[in-house]
Structure 1
């Protein structure tokens, strides 16, 4: 029942998905952007304490509401921590009616064939079982594409869909995220190969299987419309990928049917030093801008 309610919310609700899933590698940069330098914490534990404070500050803001925010992607550490006396996922779903997702990948392997596939995930089943103890609806996993290498892109998409099927078998909704690097000299060529491979893999899913897609905003407006309309795709969400919020929102508006799932662009302008009022105003501005771009 919980899953079905969440499914309907993602399928029919308006809004965007906030990506609050920075992990070990990306957390220092996220904290630096938030006004906390590396010499202000001694170890990973202290670092994760600080980033959870930032996330909790965002999530408990009145403006972080279900009228504009459909879902939020969490890091495993965040899922196991509390917000307002409840586990983060329970707080989001029960108190806010915001659908929680979990980042499940373990980072990227070394670059080869113009791509970075995901590192092995030997304990994925255990993590998915743990997620089922919370009201987690789905998962997210990221690979990166740099060059239009046929074999490399095929490898990325195949790995993503193989893992997606494992996630579906556990009763969760996978977000497949084969990011195309925004600085790729041949970005559109990468996107052409990527779309072809995604369509091929979607056709291999059975009628009961469905995925979400998280894709870099394309060079050509409306380029992923075929994926947006595909019956085996619940939702296509866009990553900001290093674009500023203004640029990311402008590009998103050119792609009807896609909604935002921004990370850096979402938290842009936030600072630990801000008063609660300043913080709330900043995050509200961000939420409204991204929400409007996702409505198109």
Structure 2
């Protein structure tokens, strides 16, 4: 574990940029960026285009350590180059931004009101390569859609079990049991989930370091008990389908909770923009998310 990067993530002011769109979400991300599906004819071309988008964001003068603590990468992005450097090295060596890696393979079918992660058969290989690529930590997502205690326990158990394996590689896992913002019992889901998380935290050694990426809660400062746990480096928030303004407003009401936005970060960016226009829009987005994160 890189101690300098740990210090940045634990005590730095700013937020985490989520640049980890995977195969399923990439077409939507490209469409929002102004590149339609008829403009590429293969998966390889699609990923080349999204890497160009991510590279443009990362290299922008607006994308700096003054506002951004870390960036979450997709596996192909980790293995791709930015100015002849692997992406994680470019982020840390050139920008001072801590690199993370998305490791999950998507969601299983809905059962007991939740979608756990699909199996990750090549996880050991991915984690070994992540260490070689100088990745600091990982991220993996599952989703809660109903206030089902059995399902939520299964979600939290899976997150912790895989998370502890990741810890064994010297990486800091971000556990992401997302609560769907459209869930009619969202507050109850958050209550059940927090209880399960606290229970699991008490079962692991205090030397373990991990993070959480959670939906902005209905009750302000609801995740403060997690933030105060010695094992927890940081608690960050996903935008979850809220617009950037909605997410920022909700985030600002939660002291200590910082952003890890994807769609909200890229909102308003277009492949058709000039570099000046692109940098201006991105800079405005980054400034607003930063302000909400330090409120």
**Where on the TM-score scale, by shorter chain, does this alignment land: which range?**
over 0.9
The whole-number CA distance in structure 2 between the counterparts of 1:205 and 1:175 is 16
State the Cα distance separating 1:255 from its structure 2 match: 0.6
Q: What 5-or-longer segments of structure 1 have no aligned partner?
A: none
Matched residue, 2:88: 89
Contact 2:206 2:230 in 1 (8 A): no
* Residues 1:185 and 2:184 are matched in the alignment: yes
What do the CA deviations read for 1:219-275 (whole angstroms, capped 9, x no partner)? 111111111111111100000000000000000011101100000001000000111
State the Cα distance separating 1:210 from its structure 2 match: 1.9
* CA RMSD after TM alignment: 0.7
The whole-number CA distance in structure 2 between the counterparts of 1:166 and 1:133 is 17
Matched residue, 2:76: 77
The whole-number CA distance in structure 1 between the counterparts of 2:293 and 2:112 is 34
Matched residue, 1:142: 141
Matched residue, 2:50: 51
| Secondary structure in structure 2 of the residue aligned to 1:175 | strand
| Secondary structure in structure 2 of the residue aligned to 1:234 | strand
The whole-number CA distance in structure 2 between the counterparts of 1:24 and 1:15 is 28
Matched residue, 1:262: 261
The whole-number CA distance in structure 2 between the counterparts of 1:144 and 1:150 is 13
The whole-number CA distance in structure 2 between the counterparts of 1:135 and 1:66 is 18
Contact 1:105 1:119 in 2 (8 A): yes
* Residues 1:115 and 2:120 are matched in the alignment: no
Q: Structure 1 length as normaliser, TM-score?
A: 0.99
The whole-number CA distance in structure 1 between the counterparts of 2:214 and 2:169 is 24
> Once superposed, which parts of structure 1, at least 4 consecutive aligned residues long, lie more than 3 Å away?
none
Number of residue pairs matched by the alignment? 295
The whole-number CA distance in structure 1 between the counterparts of 2:138 and 2:74 is 10
State the Cα distance separating 1:125 from its structure 2 match: 0.9
Contact 1:79 1:87 in 2 (8 A): yes
Matched residue, 1:200: 199
| Secondary structure in structure 1 of the residue aligned to 2:288 | helix
Q: Structure 2 length as normaliser, TM-score?
A: 0.99
Matched residue, 2:235: 236
The whole-number CA distance in structure 2 between the counterparts of 1:9 and 1:220 is 28
The whole-number CA distance in structure 1 between the counterparts of 2:83 and 2:279 is 17
| Secondary structure in structure 2 of the residue aligned to 1:6 | helix
Q: What 5-or-longer segments of structure 2 have no aligned partner?
A: none
* Residues 1:253 and 2:252 are matched in the alignment: yes
Matched residue, 1:274: 273
